[in-house]
Chains A and B, each alone.
Chain A
Amino acid sequence: MRANFEEFVVARGPALLRFAYLLTADGYLAEDLVQEALLRTHRRWSAVEHADGPEPYVRKAILHLYLSWRRRRSSTETPVADLPERPVPDHLADLFAERDEMWLLLRQLPRSQRAVVVLRYYEDLADADIANLIGCSAATVRVHAFKALKKLRAALESNTETQLVSTETTP
């Protein structure tokens, strides 16, 4: 393998793995996606290296692999129907629980919505850049983001109400 490719892998590997993990929520799959994307990049390294830099190319490859992976396996995946119950927490525990709850909810989002959420709120990309990566219009990105946030808000409110009822009825 070429030296500058290896340097790129060493330097940017951690960030790419974090990106893939947030998309897949699966460590093994994340590493698999990153390896596959890097191998594809390596085959076109000369062109990729001298264009906009290799990282956007690799991220795009990861994203597309993730979207196609989800399509292939969507029929066999079982979404999490119910969130685990938790006691009325103190502030710190509440904060952690809230994040884990959000993580579980994120896993239930459709692939394109989850990709948009990760790119927008973790990678901090503008809608136009997200649209370019996914291969759709900026308006479609905004629709995905809107729907994702709406679903997350509805699920959070529903869970809070369930917990409040549960707390009130507990003797």
Chain B
Amino acid sequence: MNDVERMLQRALVRHADEAPRSGQLLHRLRGRARRRRQRQLTALTCGLTVALCALVVGVQGGLADPSERAGQSGASPLAPSTPALVYLTLAPGPVTIDDYAPKPTRPMPGMKQQATIVAAGVPMVLYASTTGANAGMSVQVSAAPPVRQSTAGSASYRVRTHPATFVPSLASDPTKWSLCWQEKPDRWLTIEGFGPVVIDDLLTYAEGIAPVRVPFAMPFAFGLTPSNLIVDDASASWITFRPGNVAPGGVAESKLAVLLDERLPEAPGGRSVQVGQRPGVIFTTGGTTMLSVSQRDGRAITIQVPPNIGVTEPELIRFAAGIRVTSAAVAGKG
């Protein structure tokens, strides 16, 4: 080794100590993995959500409050504007989601049922590939046929006695396929997915699906209900409520969210508060107010209140104190 090589080695050894510390590496990795999964979930449901937004807006158009209808008409799920401030109103009573949902009775080869969620107010069942292939699909029931820009290349089949249309490449996203049929006069079933699919397997699976009215297994029981907000998204780990002036499936930053975390999140500049019998911490990040309440098992309920939803701190604490974790809940983790 010559002099330059020795100098080089000394410099590398010395500067290696300036590398970032690894104390937070695992924590940040979990957060990044969780954000990535949420993005993948969003990508999976995006097609159906967008296709159904017009439909759901139409259904929501029958809302009793005319001011909500006025607010909705100006909102777009694709280009959200800054919604007007809505003050949170709390009322006693539980939050329930009781709607038609697909009930699969047969397995789909190469796929595993992963979760039942609610997206843009509509329950759907999600599947992921079991073979490591880049594939997945979702199944949902709607009151009207999904809006399709084009059905080029589509093929006709039958699911039980119902005519069904298979579109191998959607106009909105050419990487996705869909199978859709009308089960009842007011019930349409749609299976949408990406990645390789065997049509015979898909049709056999579809034969076993029936739309049934089942309550969604809520991750939380609410003592107080945000009475002027509408349930928008829900999974085993979170539930979001949107004001009437935010379109269904709108950006998460405009919705009140209640989440279950594995533990109390980091709360830079946070302030300790008492929420019922439990300790909590309240803090603000990026204009969003966060209240996290530690549970007996170490997990934490976190409520995110965006700037377009007004609520006083005592009201927020009152709302949080009435929330209980159900047995259906699964903490979001990395």
Q: Which residues of A contact B (CB under 8 A)?
A: 1, 6, 9-10, 13-14, 17-18, 20-22, 25, 27-28, 30-31, 34-35, 38-39, 42, 98-100, 102-103, 106, 117-118, 121-122, 149, 152-153, 156
User: Is A99 touching B10 in the complex (CB atoms < 8 A)?
Assistant: yes
Residues of A within 8 A of B4 (CB): 149, 152-153, 156
Size bracket, chain B contacts = 20 to 34
Contact with A along B2-40 (1 / 0, CB 8 A): 001101111111111111111001101110110010000
* Contact of B334 with A by CB under 8 A: yes
User: Is B7 touching A98 in the complex (CB atoms < 8 A)?
Assistant: yes
User: Is A27 touching B20 in the complex (CB atoms < 8 A)?
Assistant: yes
Question: Which of A18, A21, A28, A38 contacts B29 (CB under 8 A)?
Answer: A38
User: Is A13 touching B25 in the complex (CB atoms < 8 A)?
Assistant: yes
Contacts A17-B25, A30-B19; is A42 near B9 (CB within 8 Å)? no
User: Is A9 touching B12 in the complex (CB atoms < 8 A)?
Assistant: no
SS class of chain A's interface: helix, strand, loop or mixed?
helix
Residues of B within 8 A of A106 (CB): 8, 11-12
Bound Cα distance A118, B33 (Å):
29
Residues of B within 8 A of A27 (CB): 18-20
Residues of A within 8 A of B333 (CB): 1
User: Is B10 touching A21 in the complex (CB atoms < 8 A)?
Assistant: no
Residues of A within 8 A of B18 (CB): 21, 27
Residues of A within 8 A of B19 (CB): 14, 17-18, 20-22, 27, 30
Residues of B within 8 A of A102 (CB): 7-8, 10-11
| Distance to closest chain A CB from B128 (angstroms) | 12
Point out which of B11, B15, B21, B28 has the most chain A C-beta atoms below 10 A from its C-beta.
Answer: B11
